[in-house]
Amino acid sequence: MLRKAKNFTNYYLRYNLYFKQEVKKVLEHKEWDSSQLQHCQNEAFLSVLHQAVKRSPFYQKLYATYGVDIQNIKSVDDIADLPIITKKEVREHLESIYIGNPWVKTKGHTSGTSGTPLVVYRDYRSTLKEGAYIWAQRAMFGYQPGMKTVSLRGILDRRQMKQYDPHANCLYLSSFNLREENADWYCQQIQQFEPYAILAYPSSVEILANFFQSRDLTLNVPLIFTSSEQVYQHQREKIEKVFNTRIVDWYGNAERTIALEQRKDNQYYELPLYSVNEYEENRTISTSLISTSFPLIRYQVDDTIIPCKDRSNYQVEAIVGRYDDVLQLPDGTKIGRIGATFSDIDGLELAQIHQKCREQFTINLVVNDHFSGHGLEKMKSRLSNLAGNQLQYDIVYVQESDIIRTKAGKFKLVISSTT
């Protein structure tokens, strides 16, 4: 009874009149021209900045230390005059950054393959705005709250296999029990529920695709919404084939300083009035415009994002991923977008690269009986085309349980500890 009451409360806190109004605003902003957006972005940025300086001890001290005169910051064009902050500063000054009502703040957590997760604060308003952007994207593809949905996003732990929320019409399945001995159960649950959409980490729904594929089963799920991990082309191809579906991806971070949405043309775009983004070679500097109670101004995100040369439509050319999601060659060259190496290889279920030094790396492969020498040579040839003969590597065949994931169940294609 308590859980049902909680589901009811959560659903109507998220999908109420205020939420619908926020979604309407997001959709309207997408119709604005660049001059309108730039004007409103400047106003939103200056509002966030001045409130932070007025109310946050952290920013007061930070800008005094760097000799920043806020009166000289007239627009987004002056943003580079402000210092960059990192996870270290946020972790050390968590309480003095938050300027909202202490009674309504909630915690969010980042996760990584290694290192200490970062705690950030949120409030109801920022949560509502974040949800509005997400649902505006989903509405673009004909998906609405209340449609039959399966969620595989780490909501349930290993102790609970499933939970149905009748208010959201959502069947939650544990993403921590995706093992071969449970494969028939997962297939049965999804077949019987017949969802219109699946919400999942790319790696979780890829494992599901492997389950269905190994049993010569297919399914018709119109949409699969992925987020929280980079979705690689080889994953996309496999998943879309097995589920007869379309993958719609969302790139964002727990700090809510940047988000990019995939649209109908399959390209990624910045979200209007969500953030101010500065793209550099090995990082992105982002400033949130929606999280005003926990202002993160010029916050460093360790992801490489390549913007299109024509910035008028806010399109992004590529999301390369974290700086440690690339192979590094002995001469210092960094090789990204390596997911295509594992595309369209029969019998290859999962792959993960481990690189501890620039001269050598290991590829862990999870394969089934359909994997052959031909597929192996295809993979090696692609690696050679990418990296030439500079790299030496070993291939190790492992079980799915040997693939490294974060505590939240997230997957990275490259695990690197090179410097």
Helix/strand/coil (H/E/C) assignment for every residue in 98-167? CCCCCCCCEEEECCCCCCCCCEEEECHHHHHHHHHHHHHHHHHCCCCCCCCEEEECCCCCCCCCEEEECC
Q: pTM of the full predicted structure? A: 0.80
Whether 235 and 345 have beta carbons less than 8 Å apart is answered as no
In CATH, what is the architecture of 131-252?
Answer: 3-Layer(aba) Sandwich (3.40)
- In the CATH hierarchy, which fold is given to the domain comprising 32-122+254-263+265-323? Rossmann fold (3.40.50)
pLDDT of residue 341: 82
Of 204, 198, 208, the C-alpha closest to 242 is: 208
Amino acid at position 330, single letter:
P
Q: Indicate if 131-252 has the same CATH topology as 32-122+254-263+265-323.
A: yes
Q: For the chain, which residues make up each domain, given as ranges?
A: 32-122+254-263+265-323, 131-252, 326-416
C-alpha span between 379 and 351 (Å, rounded) = 11
171 three-state secondary structure = strand
Length of the chain: 419
Looking at the domain 326-416, which fold is it?
A: GMP Synthetase; Chain A, domain 3 (3.30.300)
Q: What is the pLDDT along the chain (419 residues), one digit of tens a residue?
A: 445 545 555 665 667 788 889 999 999 999 999 899 999 999 999 999 999 999 999 999 999 999 999 999 999 999 999 999 999 999 999 999 999 988 888 988 775 444 456 889 998 889 999 999 999 999 999 999 899 999 998 788 778 899 999 989 999 998 878 888 899 999 999 999 999 999 998 888 998 999 999 999 889 999 999 998 888 888 999 999 999 999 999 999 989 999 999 999 999 999 999 999 999 988 899 999 999 999 999 999 988 899 998 877 889 998 876 544 667 777 666 666 677 788 778 889 888 999 888 888 899 999 999 899 999 999 898 888 766 666 788 999 999 888 887 766 677 888 877 65
pLDDT value of position 325:
62
| Burial label, 181 (beta-carbon count in 10 A; 0-12, 13-18, 19+) | exposed
Torsion of CA 235, 231, 116, 289, to 10 degrees: -170
